[in-house]
Amino acid sequence: MSSNILDNLRKVEVFSGLSDSELVQVANQCKVRKVGANEVVFNEGDDGDELLIIHEGCVRVAINTKLADNTMAPSTINSLYKGQSFGEMVLLGGATRSATVTAVEACVLLVLKERDFAALCDANPRIGYRVMRNMASDLSYKLRSSNLLLRGNIRWQQGELGRRSSQ
């Protein structure tokens, strides 16, 4: 395993608090996927069973939104870069993709299948505990922020939502 992969995994928020030996165990479960520029990684509404980590490149995250004329159009909600992950909800047992992710440039992605992560957690429950705790913390932040936004107590600045959601 490359030390570059380990350095990258250290940056991934969902793996925060894992030791290097635990990160090596995670890395050993990952497969590499190369994606070309402008290639769709997955579409909103697709079934999913993989967490993806950007090892090289950049992706755009977009959701379909209704326009004033009742047509649907993609709206970019985030850009993600090296050391950031997406698709983490699948670690909770599979999920329908909530957004479309497209490579902005050629990317190298580390792919962690949900079933491989579950087996890793069975073998090392501390890894599962730390990852689930990190996810719960992030989801709690997003829920509180969404509640405030819906109540009109805050207004997101361009890019503000994207910066926090990738943390």
What does the pLDDT look like over 5-40, one tens digit per residue? 899 999 999 999 999 999 999 999 999 999 999 999
For 34, the domain range is 3-165
**Count of domains in the chain?**
1
Judge whether residue 96 has pLDDT over 50: yes
- Three-class secondary structure assignment of the chain: CCHHHHHHHHHCHHHCCCCHHHHHHHHHHCEEEEECCCCEEECCCCEECEEEEEEECEEEEEEEEECCCCCEEEEEEEEEECCCEECHHHHHCCEECCCEEEECCCEEEEEEEHHHHHHHHHHCHHHHHHHHHHHHHHHHHHHHHHHHHHHCCCCCCCCHHHHHHCC
Is the full-model pTM beyond 0.95?
Answer: no
- pLDDT (mean) for 90-97: 79
Of the listed ranges 90-94, 110-114, 154-158, the one predicted with least confidence = 154-158
Asked whether residue 118 carries a pLDDT value surpassing 80, the answer given is yes
Q: What pLDDT score was predicted for residue 139?
A: 80
Q: CATH number, domain at 114?
A: 2.60.120.10
